């Protein structure tokens, strides 16, 4: 074969560059995917738990409890076994009275006797000029930790097929009646 | 360096073509993924809720309710807090008596006081000559809307690792005892 | 245009090779993805159900039941409608007394009258020298089958954005008080 050496060098460079394993989209299997989010958002949601006296304002209620407890008063042993259904307003700031941009709807339950820990399955249902659609969440919430990561397992509408990670932070709480969660959303799969 | 200019042009073209951002699979990060489903299917499932009198026919039952309600009669305020476990037949047509191709198994709960809205976590468990395996679903179901999109978060067997979106439509209902949901499944990730 | 034929051949080869449809990562849509796991792990978790007498040792409790049952004794009809919240130790071997590497936390419920079948939504919360982070699971568990596949729908920490399939096997059980599940985890999406 006859090449001008400079032509050959360029071809070789091109070939190696395009097949380089450090280029994620060209590696044939199990590429290291980029951990840079394709979308980042931050919200607050506000939970007011029914306690027998606040029917008008409550946004959530205990609906299941273990044999040793009931559905009005949180169970002993760090509320182990209490399951709560909620419809909580989502706001852009930490102000409970800000205009909601959607609702956080789903369930949480306390699942450890020795320390406060919960598990969450819920959706953000957006209905604002900025966002229409839903994001679906699932995961463990060891709520005594300053930050907790849960999974964003899917989405619809503006968030069609999204996946990601949400970092939860307890921004405020008042006894067993009110808590406010900051939710930092990072989507890593956008369509 | 010495090139024939035509060779250089071709190399340049090749280089630019292969790295062009309009070619999704070659874009290095956050490519726009094709929204064409890799599989589409449509099913109906049928829910007969236990109401104290229909033990033989019921396919579902309330198992949790808020303090102001019970597990036999649906709660007031749009059933807020009622949690139902179901094992519903899946059919290819809207005929309740058609041979089921599988079962829809999981839970739903009503989670808003002002309007009927539910949240679903369930599986389609297929057992027919056409399909073996499962699809897993999660998401908000604002059931007064004509169509509602929920997430398909995973699958097994024939639907190994599947992801997608399911569009729910209330095809029929009879008071608080029976409803039939049409489920249009679009998978966007197939393995 | 003027080419040395050998240069042209190499260019042609390069062009065809890079665009070949048999190279999965370059196919433009719905590529057949490799079914080779990027990570495989095997664990056991141990569930001790509260039965009214074992408060000290119990790792789980019935918190919801249908109208015809209660939260202390498992319901008839294959426990249909019983919903259990659990915080179970995860071990590397089948020894209940082995040092746990984490906790399986979440819920399961029985959802069929004619045969034992359950549905699971839970997390593995790892806290060992080897693994930090969580894996989130959802799916149907027809527990009379020797093996059952459920979906791994997300992860955090060491398992950031993971997806996969978990195969469950009942490794042991004692009446209605204890069961041990072997969980073979295969991740097919690793980041």
pLDDT tens digit sequence for B22-70: 444 443 445 567 789 999 999 999 999 999 999 999 999 999 999 999 9
Q: Which backbone phi and psi does C30 adopt, to 5 degrees?
A: 45, 55
Furthest CA-CA distance within chain B: 91
On whether residue B13 sits in a domain, the answer given is no
Q: Going by C-beta distance under 8 Å and a sequence separation of 6 or more, which residues neighbour residue C35?
A: B160, B191, C188
On whether residue A107 sits in a domain, the answer given is yes
CA distance B17 to A67: 67
Chain A interface mutation, best of B13, B15, B66, highest count of A Cβ atoms under 10 Å = B66
* Number of domains within chain A: 1
ipTM higher than the 0.90 cut: no
Q: How confident is the model at residue C33 (pLDDT cuts 50, 70, 90)?
A: confident
pLDDT tens digit sequence for C66-93: 999 999 999 999 999 999 999 999 999 9
Angle A5-19/C5-19 helices, nearest 10 degrees?
A: 0
Which residue, among A31, A33, A25, has the nearest Cα to A189 in the 3D structure? A33
DSSP C32-100: ------SEEEEEEEEEEB--SS-TTT-SEEEEE--TT--SSS--HHHHTT-EEEEEEEEESSS-TTSPP
Are B62 and B72 within 8 A, CB to CB? yes
Contacting residues of B for A8, CB less than 8 Å apart: none
With CA atoms as reference, the chain A residue closest to C86 would be A111
On whether residue C39 sits in a domain, the answer given is yes
With CA atoms as reference, the chain A residue closest to C190 would be A30
Comparing A163-167, B92-96, C30-34, the range with the smallest average pLDDT is C30-34
Of B11, B31, B67, the CB nearest to A10: B11
CA distance B183 to B141: 12
On whether residue B80 sits in a domain, the answer given is yes
Distance of CA A142 to the CA centre of its chain: 14
DSSP code of C49?
B
pLDDT by residue, tens only, chain A of 191 residues: 444 555 655 555 555 555 544 444 443 445 567 789 999 999 999 999 999 999 999 999 999 999 999 999 999 999 999 999 999 999 999 999 999 999 999 999 999 999 999 999 999 999 999 999 999 999 999 999 999 999 999 999 999 999 999 999 999 999 999 999 999 999 999 99
* Min Cα separation C93/chain A (Å): 23
Comparing A6-10, B19-23, B78-82, C149-153, the range with the smallest average pLDDT is B19-23
Query: In sequence order, what are the beta bridge partners of B47?
Result: B179
On whether residue C23 sits in a domain, the answer given is no
CA distance A16 to A9: 10
- C25: how many CB neighbours lie within 10 A of its CB? 16
CA distance B151 to A157: 11
pLDDT at B33: 76
> What percentage of chain C has pLDDT greater than the value 70?
83
Contact B67 A52 (CB under 8 A): yes
CA distance C154 to A152: 7
pLDDT at B34: 76
Is the dihedral angle over the CA atoms A68, A73, A79, A81 positive or is it negative? positive
Structure tokens at C94: 């089948």
Q: What is the CATH number of the domain that holds A166?
A: 2.40.480.10
Contact B35 A160 (CB under 8 A): yes
CA distance A47 to B138: 21
CA distance B93 to B27: 43
Q: How confident is the model at residue C143 (pLDDT cuts 50, 70, 90)?
A: very high
Are A112 and A82 within 8 A, CB to CB? no
On whether residue A181 sits in a domain, the answer given is yes
- B75: how many CB neighbours lie within 10 A of its CB? 21
Q: Going by C-beta distance under 8 Å and a sequence separation of 6 or more, which residues neighbour residue A95?
A: none
Q: Is pLDDT at C172 greater than 90 in this prediction?
A: yes
Q: Which of B18-27, B137-146, C27-36 shows the highest mean pLDDT?
A: B137-146
Are C162 and C171 within 8 A, CB to CB? no
Which residue, among C161, C171, C177, C178, has the nearest Cα to C187 in the 3D structure? C161
Mean pLDDT, residues B114-131: 96
Of B15, B110, B140, the CB nearest to A123: B140
- B153: how many CB neighbours lie within 10 A of its CB? 28
> What percentage of chain B has pLDDT greater than the value 90?
81
On whether residue C137 sits in a domain, the answer given is yes
pLDDT at C26: 41
DSSP code of A6?
H
Structure tokens at A190: 């956008």
On whether residue B45 sits in a domain, the answer given is yes
Q: Look up the pTM and report it.
A: 0.85
Are C141 and C116 within 8 A, CB to CB? no
Q: Which domain holds residue A99?
A: 33-189
Contacting residues of A for C7, CB less than 8 Å apart: 3, 7, 11
């Amino acid at each position: 074969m006859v090449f001008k050496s400079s032509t050959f060098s360029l071809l070789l460079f091109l070939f190696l560059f395009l097949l380089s394993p450090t280029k994620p989209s060209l590696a044939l299997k199990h590429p290291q995917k980029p951990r840079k989010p394709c979308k980042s958002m931050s919200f607050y949601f506000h939970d007011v738990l029914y306690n027998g006296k606040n029917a008008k304002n409550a946004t959530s209620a205990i609906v299941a409890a273990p044999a040793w407890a009931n559905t009005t008063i949180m169970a002993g042993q760090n509320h182990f076994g209490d399951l709560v259904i909620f419809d909580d307003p989502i706001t852009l700031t930490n102000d409970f009275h800000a205009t909601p941009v959607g609702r956080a709807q789903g369930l949480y339950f306390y699942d450890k006797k020795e320390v406060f820990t919960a598990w969450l399955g819920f959706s953000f249902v957006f209905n604002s000029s900025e966002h229409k659609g839903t994001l679906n969440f699932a995961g463990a919430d060891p709520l005594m930790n300053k930050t907790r990561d849960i999974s964003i397992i899917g989405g619809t509408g503006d968030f069609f097929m999204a996946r990601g990670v949400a970092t939860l932070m307890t921004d405020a709480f008042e006894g067993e009646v009110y808590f406010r969660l900051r939710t930092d959303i990072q989507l890593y799969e956008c369509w």
